[in-house]
Amino acid sequence: MIQLNNVTKRFPGGQEAISGLSLSIDKGEMVFVTGHSGAGKSTLLRLIALIERPSDGQIIVDNQNTRRVKRRKIPAYRRQIGMVFQDHKLLYDRPVFDNVALPLIIAGVSYRDAGRRVRAALDQVGLLHKEKQRPATLSAGEQQRVGIARAIITRPKLLIADEPTGNLDPDLSLEVMRIFRRFNEVGVTLLIASHDITLIDSLGCRRIALEDGKLQQEADPWQ
Amino acid sequence: MAITRNADAIAPVRSSSVFSIWLARHTSTSLGALGRLSRQPFASLMIILVIGVTLALPAAINVIVKNMQSVSNSWSNALDFSMYLKKDLTVSDAEDLANLIRQRADIESVGLITADEALLEFKKQSGFGKALNQLSENPLPHALVIRPSSGNTGASLTLLQEEIRNLPETELVQVDTEWVQRFHAILDIVRQAISIGVVLLGIAIVVIIGNIIRLDIENRREEIEVTKLIGASNAFVRRPFLWTGFWYGLLGGAFALLLVQYGLYLLREPVSRLAGLYQGKITVASLTITESSAIIGIAVFLGLFASWVTAARHMRRIEPR
Ligand SMILES: Nc1ncnc2c1ncn2[C@@H]1O[C@H](COP(=O)(O)OP(=O)(O)OP(=O)(O)O)[C@@H](O)[C@H]1O
Ligand SMILES: [Mg+2]
């Protein structure tokens, strides 16, 4: 599903967030990216979502070489990927329903037709009863789940999440991971950046450990 | 909470026909834009007011000029001028010439006063009949009385007279009503001033709407970033702003129309009193359907143009981080 060949991301300041990184993630895998703050986890996810372009190397997502995706085609490319953000990135002046419906509206589904799908997605994250509320009136965990509902509503084959449990308590973190787990069970590929080693280990998923933009050598038996 | 419980959750994104998607998108976006305007009624009203007044100004002056012109044209013989022919032309020469001139599009009618008719008339009116009978030959030339068509402007009248004056058959062209021509010349100048004014005011409207849209874009920067982040195209994020510009244009244009019509309504009474004094049939011509739709059309165009340019410039700069 995702393949990186010798990818480097150098920022204008000369800083290398990712240095010569190669990795491969199969279809239907659920993989965690770990590492210290500044290790390059977010940058890796942003490269895959084409929010950043690599300085060097090749990124292939779902058989598409991202280098060949033209600027004008980036929106269509992103619509194939579900994204969950650490800071939720919700629209705070609209109700939960509208937030979750947004990817469908962008895809051209009418507001009315979107209704059933929005409720189905909200049902999956356990927020069906909150569809009329504004995100600001929800707890951080609930906002995170709204973000997840929005990411899955178009049924993407690939879901990437940047520290989705960053500011949740252990119970909520586990709940969010369970939701991800269920998507994985129906074939969605997941790539999740996280600090929470204990949680990851309890799930028994593969781990990609980053250090200074490179794979950390010793930590992981799966490498 | 089982993922397979709800079939809707795993149905692929159904796509309806391209046109119905397009229609549904635009309907909801346009209503959304209108809704946003109505949520800040005071600010929106101020902008519509400014656009309306800015557009009403040239429209009103244009209507006034049009009315003045039709009034001056209703002085039916006011534009007539006389063309005295060379002495050596015969009556049939004069008739031929009259027929020739009559064919011009800028001339409504040509009347021939032969030398004999002129002499007869002169005898009757001057009372010198006996004395004039002594003349061995008629000293008067044939003359044509030319009435230009009402479509003429001051400039085209002057040109027409100049052309007539330059004909080989012409002895003299006499214009008795130069003040009417001056009046027309002034109307010409006013009309030109309007077209310059319209351009300037159009630029002003584009700047006003452009600025409003720019502020709107800045205020919704985060929303734009988020929607782009989850796959919205530039066209998608631009659409609501185009609709905002459209509504400002439409409502501003409608308001301008209202202002002009109300002004004309106020003028109707005093004008008909004036018309009564002159036994004339002066009525205030209101805006025709064509003129009204032109005002609305121009307003909508300016609104769309302003928002398009502004959105295109700013949207590209807002990239998700
Ligand atoms: N836009 C940028 N310009 C310059 N340097 C950047 C930029 N974005 C990230 N970096 C640098 O790249 C490195 C990796 O950043 P990244 O955000 O990927 O780290 P991270 O692993 O996600 O950290 P955290 O756990 O704190 O979120 C950091 O040293 C950071 O300073
Ligand atoms: Mg990060």
* ipTM of the complex model: 0.88
Which ligand 1 atom minimizes the distance to the CA of A43? 18
Contact partners, residue A34, CB within 8 Å, separation at least 6: A41, A193, A194, A195, A197, A200, A207, A208, A209, A210
Predicted local confidence at residue B117, as pLDDT: 87
Over the stretch A128-165, which tens digit does the pLDDT of each residue have? 999 899 999 998 888 989 999 999 999 899 999 999 88
Q: Does B111 share its domain with B157?
A: yes
Predicted local confidence at residue B3, as pLDDT: 37
In chain A, which residues fall in CATH 3.40.50.300?
1-80+156-223
Predicted local confidence at residue A210, as pLDDT: 92
Residue in A69, A117, A143, A176 to test binding to B, most B beta-carbons within 10 Å? A117
Closest CA to ligand 1's atom 24: A37
**CA B198 – CA B57 distance, rounded (Å):** 9
B81-85 and B143-148 strand pairing: antiparallel
Q: Indicate the pLDDT class of residue B5, thresholds 50, 70 and 90.
A: very low
Q: Does B212 share its domain with B283?
A: yes
**CA B19 – CA B4 distance, rounded (Å):** 32
**CA A52 – CA A15 distance, rounded (Å):** 14
Residue B276: both structure tokens together: 């009564």
A1-80+156-223 sits in which CATH class?
alpha beta
% of residues, chain B, pLDDT over 70 = 86
Domain assignment present for B97: yes
For chain B, the domain total comes to 2
Residue A121: both structure tokens together: 């997605």
Query: Which ranges of chain A does DSSP label H, i.e. alpha helix?
Result: 41-48, 74-79, 96-106, 111-124, 140-152, 170-185, 197-203
**Ligand 1 proximity of A17 Cβ (cutoff 6 Å):** yes
**A–B: how many Cβ contacts below 8 A?**
95
Distance from CA of A216 to the nearest CA of B (A): 27
Predicted local confidence at residue B178, as pLDDT: 67
Predicted local confidence at residue B34, as pLDDT: 82
Over the stretch B133-155, which tens digit does the pLDDT of each residue have? 777 788 888 888 888 887 777 78
Q: Does B199 share its domain with B309?
A: yes
Q: CB-hemisphere CA count at 13 Å for A85?
A: 16
**Chain B residues touching residue A186 (CB < 8 angstroms):** 3-4, 10
Domain assignment present for B214: yes
From the list A77, A85, A120, which residue is nearest B8 (CB)? Answer: A120
Q: Does B70 share its domain with B93?
A: no
Q: Does B62 share its domain with B209?
A: yes
Is the C-alpha dihedral spanning B15, A29, A86, A72 positive or negative? negative
- Overall average pLDDT of the B243-260 stretch: 93
Q: Does B272 share its domain with B190?
A: yes
Q: Which residues surround ligand 2, an ion (CB under 5 A)?
A: A 42
For residue B75, pLDDT beyond 70: no
Q: Does B202 share its domain with B64?
A: yes
Q: Does B223 share its domain with B299?
A: yes
Mutation probe of ligand 1 site: the residue of A7, A8, A9, A15 with most atoms within 8 A of C-beta: A15
Q: Which of B121, B150, B175 finishes a domain?
A: B175
Q: Which amino acid is at B71?
A: V
Q: What is the mean pLDDT of chain A?
A: 89
Q: Does B189 share its domain with B167?
A: no
* Residue B315 near residue B237, CB atoms below 8 Å: yes
Domain assignment present for B263: yes
Over the stretch A205-214, which tens digit does the pLDDT of each residue have? 899 999 988 8
Neighbours of B270 (CB within 10 A): 10
For residue B182, pLDDT beyond 90: no
For residue B273, pLDDT beyond 50: yes
Q: Which string of DSSP letters, residue by residue, matches B275-291? A: HHHTT---------HHH
Residues linked to residue A21 through DSSP beta bridges, in sequence order = A7
Q: Which of B175, B209, B235 finishes a domain?
A: B175
**What 8-state DSSP symbol labels residue A150?**
H
Q: Indicate the pLDDT class of residue B303, thresholds 50, 70 and 90.
A: very high
**CA A159 – CA A112 distance, rounded (Å):** 26
**What 8-state DSSP symbol labels residue B11?**
S
Q: What is the mean pLDDT of chain B?
A: 82
Can you say whether residue A174 is alpha, beta or left, with left for phi > 0 and alpha for psi between -120 and 50 degrees? Answer: alpha
Calculate how far, in angstroms, residue B184's C-alpha sits from the geometric centre of ligand 1. Answer: 74
Q: Indicate the pLDDT class of residue B279, thresholds 50, 70 and 90.
A: low
Full-model pTM: 0.72
Closest listed residue to residue A159, CA positions, set A41, A57, A48, A3:
A48
Predicted local confidence at residue B183, as pLDDT: 76
**Chain B residues touching residue A116 (CB < 8 angstroms):** 8
Q: Which of B141, B175, B209 finishes a domain?
A: B175
Write the CA distances from B89 to A81, B118, B119, B163, B170, integer angstroms.
Answer: 94, 15, 16, 19, 10
Q: Consecutive sets of 10 residues in chain A, 223 residues long: mean pLDDT of each? A: 92 90 93 91 93 93 91 91 91 92 87 87 90 90 91 93 84 86 92 88 88 75 50
Closest CA to ligand 1's atom 6: A11
Main-chain dihedrals φ then ψ at residue B2, nearest 5 degrees: -65, 140
Domain span at residue B170 reads 81-175
Q: Does B107 share its domain with B161?
A: yes
SS3 A87: coil
Over the stretch B188-233, which tens digit does the pLDDT of each residue have? 888 888 888 888 988 999 999 999 999 989 988 988 999 999 999 8
Q: Does B200 share its domain with B99?
A: no
Q: Indicate the pLDDT class of residue B298, thresholds 50, 70 and 90.
A: very high
CATH of the domain at B127: 3.30.70.3040
Q: Does B190 share its domain with B304?
A: yes
For residue B94, pLDDT beyond 60: yes
Neighbours of B91 (CB within 10 A): 13
Domain assignment present for B258: yes
**CA B80 – CA B97 distance, rounded (Å):** 17
**CA A180 – CA A32 distance, rounded (Å):** 12
For residue B8, pLDDT beyond 50: no
* Residue A92 near residue B220, CB atoms below 8 Å: no
Q: Which amino acid is at B35?
A: G
Distance from CA of B5 to the nearest CA of A (A): 9
Mutation probe of ligand 1 site: the residue of A19, A41, A85 with most atoms within 8 A of C-beta: A41
* Residue B84 near residue B170, CB atoms below 8 Å: yes
